[in-house]
Chain A
Amino acid sequence: LADKSVIEHFLAARTEEAFCALFEAVCVRLHRYFLLRGLEAATAEELTQNVMLKVYRQAGELRDAGRFYGWLFAIARNELVSYWRGRQARVSTVGFDELPAEDAGRMAVEHEAAAGLRLTGWLKALDPADRDLVVLRFVEGLSYEELAEALRLPLGTVKWRVFNARKKLSRVINETAGGRARQHVH
């Protein structure tokens, strides 16, 4: 509910002050989405900023606050696709400057946090498009209507794909649980 009033206020006022409040409310969700989709912390931060800049600039396109999260994650997903495309297009290798120790430490901690999650392991068994579905549905709690908007798919297709992703994950989770039980016995 707090989020809803912040979103409504931003869409109505579109001031920098309202944007700050919105940023605080939604930034962590975007950042988490990018981490769970396999990005390193620094890239996740950069793409989060890109998305928030677009939200600020393009907010005039959105009238209905109820559609905000579908719209937000549609932008985030486009940003992720552009990032992967850009990465594939780059042919030359780029030398990395040595990172300050503090930043390197922070990045390592955040990357480990995502890598250590059960969900990260399970997601590897799914196609990239289904990973989006699972993260947005089971971590970010998007409704089916919001998922349909974020993924630009018909509602029925979204439901069908969530069901199929659940079936695939069911096998993976069972195997993981079985493996753990066997290790425990030995």
Chain B
Amino acid sequence: MRHGISDQDWNDYVEGRAGEGARDRIETHLTGCLSCWDFYEQMSRTDEALGEAGEEARRQLTLDDRQLHRLLRGTFARMRREQGLPQSQVRGRLTRLETVLTPFCGAQAAARALHAAARHSPASSLDRVTHDNWEPFLERLSVIAAAMCGETFASLVREQGLM
């Protein structure tokens, strides 16, 4: 809040998006307050400088066609590799996660956590977890792990699931 004008109204005014009422109020105030006029000018100059700096970054940080296609080829190569992985590897990952969970919360709770994560993810059940729906499943399991044993444990689960 500055001289009765909220930060949000100042923000909208500097960006030229203030509603008519707020704009009139600020402009009336600016005609009689030199320090706010200085403040407004400073914010406007900053906005302009940021606009120019953003334009400069967009101009300088580009990818040429060769780089772009190398990245695209690499992405497809990874996609193919992952699609080609057998379902047995998904089972292996699930077993590893169960091994991580068990010492912290017991075998039954570990199994329940895995089933709940699958049920509340696009896989819908544990035997339907695949590479394609692995990410949301793991995300859900991390949330459950965080609720059960805290954030540090959830990070550990996530790390193991990503390996």
B33 within 8 A of A: no
For B, the interface residue count at a CB cutoff of 8 angstroms equals: 40
* A166–chain B nearest beta-carbon distance, Å: 5
- Does residue A169 face the partner (Cβ distance < 8 Å to B)? yes
- Residues of chain B within 8 A of A169, CB atoms compared: 46, 50
Within 8 Å CB of A164, what residues of B? Answer: 7
Give CA–CA (A166, B44) in the complex, Å. 10
* Contact in complex: A27, B155 (CB < 8 Å): no
Q: Does A74 lie at the interface of the complex (its beta carbon under 8 Å from any beta carbon of B)? A: no
Q: Give A181 to B61 CA distance when docked, in angstroms.
A: 28
| B62 CB–A CB distance under 8 Å | yes
Instruction: Say if the beta carbon of A118 comes within 8 Å of chain B.
Output: yes
In chain B, positions 1-22 with a C-beta closer than 8 Å to chain A are 7-8, 10-12, 14
User: Residue on B with the closest CB to A119?
Assistant: B53
Give the interface residue-count category, chain A. 35 or more
1/0 contact string of A132-147 vs chain B (CB within 8 Å): 0010001101000000
- What does the 1/0 interface line of A107-122 toward B look like (CB < 8 Å)? 0001001101111001
Do B136 and A113 touch (CB < 8 A)?
A: no
Are A174 and B155 touching (Cβ within 8 A)? no
Q: List 27 A-B contacts (CB under 8 A).
A: A24-B68, A24-B72, A27-B68, A32-B61, A49-B74, A56-B75, A56-B79, A58-B136, A61-B136, A82-B158, A89-B159, A113-B61, A114-B61, A116-B60, A117-B60, A117-B61, A118-B53, A118-B56, A119-B53, A122-B53, A156-B8, A162-B11, A166-B47, A166-B50, A170-B42, A170-B46, A174-B42
A residues sitting closer than 8 Å to B (CB atoms) are: 16, 20, 23-24, 27-28, 31-32, 35-36, 45, 48-49, 52-54, 56-58, 60-61, 82, 85-86, 89, 106, 110, 113-114, 116-119, 122, 134, 138-139, 141, 156, 159-160, 162-164, 166-167, 169-170, 173-174
